[in-house]
């Protein structure tokens, strides 16, 4: 079996060796690999590793009832028959949402035992943080946001390390041999089908078991739906399930409540969308006027596009045939381009530092009768980068030219099936002064390198 690798592991090592380290809280949707990540890191990197699961171990939270952290450590040493030493032991508090009072005590570990290494994680942790009744340990904890595996991690999971290294060293000014280009696009198609959920990749990796992967996807989707019962005291779970199952149909489009259920109230549907955003199983890609950074400063909360948690789960819910995706000559045409937008969107969503909250924006011209739209916006090195998902080298890129002309952008990005290139252009807007800019065009498989390409571009 190929060994799963996560880029977040490197961040954990940096956290471990930092002098000003704080208790680390990992945030992310269920089944994105939080527990595996910490367990693998802890067992490899520490002399002693103590894992406490508040869901599985009955009454274990009673060991934390005292406010004296030294007494808590003694309790844990007795219970788990280990010696806990600062710098040599990692304590992992898993499913901490089941014991919210423990979350509040993380501040005391930081204040009284700052050299003790502690990581916490849990499913639906966002609800705990959104509705807490305890005093938050503000300034005394730090976060790591974890999503599905990206394309390069997916390649590693399939044992394709040479391709990963090739991608990491690649320059957009270099010509990719056609045979390598086609090989990488074939793996992109496999990612379209399998996605980035760890359990699905493990099922698929050894023997390219597509049926087994589909079975695992269906199991994960049912797990999410079963979770909705945890909200039954707060909201109509039938409506929540309806929104969840409908959202893949909305990907790539501005969300209109009438397209989810024309008979339901917009306010109620909006509440369900907000809950599913908190659970991180869907994302609202919000509109920004993009007049400056940060992009979130000019957000229109009522104007947003849909993004699902994972492309593999999305195609599973849409019941697309594997063969149709794998044999498609043009990725942008699959499901009218929705899968291509999902692929790009879920990568851009986590195109941040691990400590930054994932968020993503798009732009459309708000003038009447205007159809101009930029699929996504990225904020890189203080610059706003428009990102278009396109089919090929042909086409006028009218919306991109309009955005560059209006916002005076110096760099724009196109993601498509063609080969990479970096060219200098001038806008072609009638009646408008020409604006010079650099257009970076990259194939889907280079999406993980866009930050590097932008930084290397002289504008």
On whether the CB atoms of residues 378 and 351 are closer than 8 A, the answer is yes
Residues 295-317 have a mean pLDDT of 94
Two tokens, residue 237: 């779970």
Domain chopping of the chain, boundaries: 8-145, 152-456
By C-alpha distance, which of 244, 374, 346, 254 is closest to 302?
254
Average pLDDT, the chain: 91
Superfamily for domain range 8-145: P-loop containing nucleotide triphosphate hydrolases (3.40.50.300)
pLDDT the model gives residue 300: 85
Query: Band of the pLDDT at 391, cuts 50, 70, 90?
Result: low
pLDDT digits (tens, 9 = 90+) for 81-102: 999 999 999 999 999 988 888 8
pLDDT the model gives residue 369: 66
Cα–Cα distance for residue pair 34/126, rounded to 1 Å = 14
pLDDT the model gives residue 104: 85
Two tokens, residue 148: 């599905």
Q: Is the pLDDT of residue 302 over 60?
A: yes
pLDDT the model gives residue 230: 72
On whether the CB atoms of residues 37 and 144 are closer than 8 A, the answer is no
Q: Is the pLDDT of residue 322 over 90?
A: no
Query: Band of the pLDDT at 221, cuts 50, 70, 90?
Result: very high
Residues 75-84 have a mean pLDDT of 95
pLDDT the model gives residue 235: 75
Q: How far is CA 437 from its chain centroid?
A: 29
Q: Is the pLDDT of residue 194 over 90?
A: yes
pLDDT the model gives residue 11: 98
By C-alpha distance, which of 388, 374, 205, 227 is closest to 309?
227
Query: Band of the pLDDT at 395, cuts 50, 70, 90?
Result: low
CB-side neighbour CA atoms (13 Å) of 205: 20
pLDDT the model gives residue 3: 74
Q: Is the pLDDT of residue 132 over 60?
A: no
Q: What proportion of the chain, given as a percentage, has pLDDT over 70?
A: 93
Q: Is the pLDDT of residue 219 over 80?
A: yes
CB-side neighbour CA atoms (13 Å) of 176: 24
Cα–Cα distance for residue pair 349/370, rounded to 1 Å = 27
Residues 347-351 have a mean pLDDT of 97
Q: What is the DSSP string of 336-353?
A: GGHHHHHHHHHHHHT-S-
pLDDT the model gives residue 428: 85
pLDDT the model gives residue 371: 78
Cα–Cα distance for residue pair 397/134, rounded to 1 Å = 51
Residues 105-131 have a mean pLDDT of 85
pLDDT the model gives residue 126: 67
CB-side neighbour CA atoms (13 Å) of 160: 19
Query: Band of the pLDDT at 392, cuts 50, 70, 90?
Result: low
Query: Band of the pLDDT at 259, cuts 50, 70, 90?
Result: very high
Residues 48-61 have a mean pLDDT of 93
On whether the CB atoms of residues 347 and 448 are closer than 8 A, the answer is yes
Lowest mean pLDDT among 69-83, 94-108, 245-259: 94-108
Contacts 24+ apart (CB under 8 A), 210-215: 210/322, 213/312, 214/316, 214/322
Cα–Cα distance for residue pair 214/201, rounded to 1 Å = 10
Range of 78-82, 96-100, 231-235, 295-299 with top mean pLDDT = 78-82
By C-alpha distance, which of 324, 322, 346, 347 is closest to 334?
324
pLDDT the model gives residue 333: 78
**What is the β-pairing status of strands 421-426 and 436-443?**
antiparallel
Tell me the β-bridge partners of 89.
48
Query: Band of the pLDDT at 288, cuts 50, 70, 90?
Result: very high
Cα–Cα distance for residue pair 19/458, rounded to 1 Å = 36
Q: State pTM to two decimals.
A: 0.94
Q: Is the pLDDT of residue 135 over 70?
A: no
């Amino acid at each position: 079996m190929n060994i799963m690798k996560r880029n977040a592991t490197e961040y954990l090592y940096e956290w471990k060796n930092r002098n000003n380290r704080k208790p680390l809280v990992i945030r992310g949707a269920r089944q994105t690999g939080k527990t595996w990540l910490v367990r693998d890191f802890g067992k490899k990197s520490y002399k002693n590793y103590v894992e406490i699961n508040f869901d599985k171990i009955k009454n274990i939270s009673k060991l934390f009832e005292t406010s004296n952290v030294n007494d808590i450590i003694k309790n844990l040493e007795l219970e788990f028959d280990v010696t806990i030493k600062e710098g040599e032991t990692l304590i992992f508090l898993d499913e901490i949402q089941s014991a919210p009072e423990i979350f509040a005590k993380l501040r005391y570990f930081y204040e009284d035992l700052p050299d003790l290494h502690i990581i916490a994680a849990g499913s639906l942790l966002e609800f705990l943080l959104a509705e807490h009744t305890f005093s938050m340990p503000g300034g005394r904890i730090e976060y790591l946001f974890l999503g599905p595996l990206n394309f390069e991690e997916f390649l590693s999971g399939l044992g394709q390390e040479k391709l990963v290294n090739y991608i990491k060293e690649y320059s957009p000014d270099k010509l990719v041999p056609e045979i390598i280009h086609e090989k990488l696009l074939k793996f992109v198609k496999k990612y379209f089908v399998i996605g980035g959920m760890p359990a699905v990749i493990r099922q698929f990796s050894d023997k390219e078991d597509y049926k087994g992967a589909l079975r695992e996807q269906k199991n994960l989707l049912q797990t999410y739906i079963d979770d909705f019962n945890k909200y039954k005291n707060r909201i109509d779970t039938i409506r929540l399930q309806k929104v969840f199952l409908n959202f893949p149909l909305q990907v790539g489009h501005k969300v209109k409540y009438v397209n989810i259920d024309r008979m339901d109230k917009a306010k109620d549907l909006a509440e369900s969308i907000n809950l599913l955003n908190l659970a991180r199983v869907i994302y609202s890609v919000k509109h920004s006027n993009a007049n400056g950074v940060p992009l979130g400063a000019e957000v229109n909360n009522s104007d947003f596009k849909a993004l699902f948690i994972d492309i593999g789960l999305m195609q599973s819910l849409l019941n697309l045939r594997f063969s149709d995706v794998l044999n498609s000559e043009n990725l942008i045409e699959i499901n009218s381009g929705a899968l291509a937008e999902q692929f790009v969107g879920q990568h851009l969503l986590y195109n941040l530092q691990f400590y930054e909250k994932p968020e993503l924006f798009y732009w459309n011209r708000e003038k009447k009768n205007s159809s101009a739209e930029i699929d996504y916006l990225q904020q890189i090195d203080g610059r706003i980068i428009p990102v278009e998902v396109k089919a090929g080298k042909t086409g006028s890129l009218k919306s991109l030219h309009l955005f560059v002309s209006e916002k005076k952008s110096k760099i724009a990005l196109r993601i498509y099936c063609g080969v990479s290139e970096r060219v200098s252009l001038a806008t072609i807007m009638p009646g408008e002064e020409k604006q010079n800019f650099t257009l970076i065009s990259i194939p889907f498989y280079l999406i993980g390198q866009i930050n590097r390409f932008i930084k290397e571009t002289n504008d």
